[in-house]
């Protein structure tokens, strides 16, 4: 209904390439991956070969040298088919920027090229059992001992952890400080003292593994520090706007897909002697959903443009994440309702998307945290 002017011809050529990859290599296998609870290494290697990993990483480090608009295309094409399992966006657009923007030259050259090919998979460890979004109060510690950090602690709800070759871990390097005592440290998953816990059973997104992590006197060289010691919270805040934009892009594309599936289904399904789409109620519901999605689409595209220009701030990213995730939930519920009983079946794409959509209001910071960020921006400062 509206032309998306942020993408140029080169972007659209890339989209066609990504769409072919998703339709041939991801979507046909996704149910099998959901049953297995993990996306196999082979799929990551194929993604790397197809050029859909680390799109925004410069060519000198093995990436394609694109920008976040290329990343957005990958996110949208995965969402368009309901393929919520592959953690390609987490790997490419959340983990790799920490290395690219804050890592040493040695770390960048060692890890980024293999991330781009899919040879190496990655994760980021922030959340702990004692608190979700309260990063300032993390308890996982990293104590200096000669040329090493000795890490002790626990993480939970870590996506992509089961197959990850390394994890960027948020640790307390100064236990007397709050935000000013956090550092980011790259931990290879074959190091003694590191162990993965159980793969957690989620309500939805079954192909996307989620795990516990444990660190027991895990020794990591000081050279694995990402960024500056005790400046980890600052580095996190620098990258969180993009992480929340990832969630917003995914939410809008998923909502668009659900609407399209529902239009197609109601146009074919008969009830009381006519198509479900012929009922005025159906038309009103679909028109309302279309309007909600379109508003979010225009706003999120504007945020994409600002981000590429380096102008997207945290509060605006929080607005994008919050509004799009809540919209996605409303669309999922209304579209499933129009599918009737069949919508509640796992074999139906809408049923799986409805369950998966609930995660959007938690991932990348809960809705409540987004409201706190926005409120802090708009409320008058105390004198």
Closest CA to 155 of 121, 189, 188, 126: 126
286 and 325 in a single domain? The answer is: yes
Q: What is the pLDDT of residue 375?
A: 94
**What pLDDT sits at residue 383?**
47
pLDDT of residue 207: 85
- 71 near 247, Cβ under 8 Å? no
pLDDT (tens digit per residue) in 19-67: 999 999 999 999 999 998 889 999 999 999 999 999 999 999 999 999 9
- The reply to whether 15 and 100 lie within a common domain is yes
Catalytic residue among 34, 128, 243, 256: 243
The rounded distance, in Å, linking the Cα atoms of 303 and 297 is 10
Q: Kindly report, residue by residue over 201-232, the tens digit of the pLDDT.
A: 888 888 888 899 999 999 999 999 999 999 99
Per-residue pLDDT tens digits for 270-325 = 889 899 999 999 999 999 999 999 999 999 999 999 999 999 999 999 999 999 99
Task: Show which of 204, 230, 256 is a domain's final residue.
Answer: 230
Domain boundary among 230, 261, 278: 230
Q: Are residues 242 and 224 in the same domain?
A: no
- Across the range 6-23, mean pLDDT stands at 96
Q: What is the pTM of this model?
A: 0.93
Closest by alpha carbon to 124, among 276, 242, 254? 242
In the chain, the number of structural domains is 3
What pLDDT shows up at residue 133?
63
User: What is the average pLDDT score of the chain?
Assistant: 93
Compute the distance between CA of residue 302 and CA of residue 300 in angstroms, rounded to an integer.
5
Q: Which domain holds residue 206?
A: 123-230
Do residues 174 and 245 share a domain?
A: no
Are 218 and 88 within one domain? no
> Any catalytic annotation for residue 243?
yes
Average pLDDT over residues 133-156: 90
Give the residue from 102, 120, 138 where a domain finishes.
120
pLDDT digits (tens, 9 = 90+) for 61-102: 999 999 999 999 999 999 999 998 999 999 999 999 999 999
Residue 40 lies in a domain: yes
132 and 38 part of one domain: no
Whether 2 is in a domain gets the answer no
Distance CA 184, CA 51 (A): 28
pLDDT for 131: 66
Q: Are residues 368 and 286 in the same domain?
A: yes
């Amino acid at each position: 209904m509206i032309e998306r002017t942020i993408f140029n011809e080169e972007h659209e050529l890339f989209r066609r390439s990504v769409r072919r990859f998703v339709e041939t290599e991801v979507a046909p296998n996704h149910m099998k991956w959901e049953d297995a609870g993990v996306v196999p290494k082979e799929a990551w290697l194929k993604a790397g070969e197809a050029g859909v990993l680390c799109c925004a990483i410069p060519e000198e480090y093995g990436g394609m040298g694109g920008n976040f608009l290329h990343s957005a295309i990958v996110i949208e094409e995965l969402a368009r088919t309901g393929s919520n399992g592959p953690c390609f966006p987490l790997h490419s657009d959340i983990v790799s920027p920490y290395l690219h923007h804050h890592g040493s030259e040695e770390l960048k050259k060692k890890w980024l090229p293999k991330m781009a090919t899919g040879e190496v998979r990655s994760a980021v460890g922030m959340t702990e059992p004692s608190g979700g979004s309260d990063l300032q109060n993390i308890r996982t510690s990293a104590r200096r001992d000669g040329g090493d950090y000795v890490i002790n602690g626990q993480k939970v709800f870590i996506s992509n952890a089961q197959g990850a070759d390394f994890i960027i871990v948020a640790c307390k390097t100064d236990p007397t400080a709050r935000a000013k005592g956090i550092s980011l440290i790259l931990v290879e998953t074959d190091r003694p003292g590191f162990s993965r816990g159980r793969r957690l059973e989620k309500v939805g997104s079954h192909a996307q593994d989620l795990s516990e992590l444990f660190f027991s006197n895990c020794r990591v060289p000081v050279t694995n520090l990402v960024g500056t010691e005790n400046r980890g919270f600052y580095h996190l805040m620098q990258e969180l706007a993009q992480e929340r934009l990832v969630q917003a892009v995914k939410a809008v594309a998923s909502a668009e897909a659900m609407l399209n599936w529902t239009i197609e289904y109601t146009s074919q399904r008969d009830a009381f002697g006519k198509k479900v789409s012929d009922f005025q109620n159906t038309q009103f519901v679909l028109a309302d959903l279309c309007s909600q999605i379109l508003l979010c689409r225009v706003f999120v595209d504007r945020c994409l443009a600002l981000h590429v220009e380096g102008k997207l701030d945290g509060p605006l990213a929080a607005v994008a994440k919050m509004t799009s995730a809540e919209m996605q939930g409303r669309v999922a519920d209304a579209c499933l309702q129009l599918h009737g009983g069949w919508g509640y079946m796992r074999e139906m794409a809408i049923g799986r998307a409805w369950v998966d959509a609930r995660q959007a209001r938690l991932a990348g910071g809960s809705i409540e945290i987004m409201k706190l960020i926005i409120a802090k921006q708009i409320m008058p400062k105390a004198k």
